[in-house]
Structure 1
């Protein structure tokens, strides 16, 4: 039985736009072969929360699709072997939900400059 999935992929931000586009197309083709691709959301070039291989920027894409569980495993193996993919994460999407829009780059920069906003202060205040 096919289930709805979302996969967020972060490509190496030091790559040129033509290489990023080629990598995105390869991922899209793999998804079309193994799953029913619904939407691709380009989130753009963003600063990473921490360095990966001494690099500070990544290019984010969110893919929405329907697939069997074994197809997702095969896709993730391809992502893992791709040297241009920094990170990826796949989650099961609840039926009827839509992908959240990406956080604006301005908001992400302000949060990064202000320090980590992980909600710990709010959590500690609630415990008191």
Structure 2
């Protein structure tokens, strides 16, 4: 199993409950795909480095996980079809 990390930014208009349910949804995708979550770091609402679609802040979350090579592709697909995700990135952890 390879190690990965993902950072995603959720829309700032979400309330606390909707934000938590989205994070749980993504954690569920990782766990149901055979992955193991090592760390979840919620950074909270922060200002974006640049404006995206007239939005200048969002909820940042970092998740470190390990899994097979198909898991990041599935997670990327879920990020793309979720309307509340502004931006996301998944990278292989080389540590």
TM > 0.5 fold call: yes
**Structure 1 outlier segments of 4+, above 6 Å:** none
Instruction: Give me the TM-score of the superposition, normalised by structure 1.
Output: 0.70
Higher helix share: 1
Could you list the runs of 5+ residues in structure 1 that have no partner in the other structure?
A: 96-128
User: Over aligned residues, Cα RMSD in angstroms?
Assistant: 0.9
Q: Which residue does 2:77 correspond to in 1?
A: 77
Matches within 5 A, 1:50-89: 50-89=50-89
- C-alpha displacement of 1:29: 0.9
Higher strand share: 2
State the alpha-carbon separation in 1 of the partners of residues 74 and 29 from structure 2: 10
Q: What is the number of equivalent residue pairs in this alignment?
A: 94
| Bigger CA radius of gyration | 1
* SS, match of residue 14 in structure 1: coil
Could you list the runs of 5+ residues in structure 2 that have no partner in the other structure?
A: none
State the alpha-carbon separation in 1 of the partners of residues 37 and 30 from structure 2: 6
State the alpha-carbon separation in 1 of the partners of residues 91 and 47 from structure 2: 22
Instruction: Give me the TM-score of the superposition, normalised by structure 2.
Output: 0.93
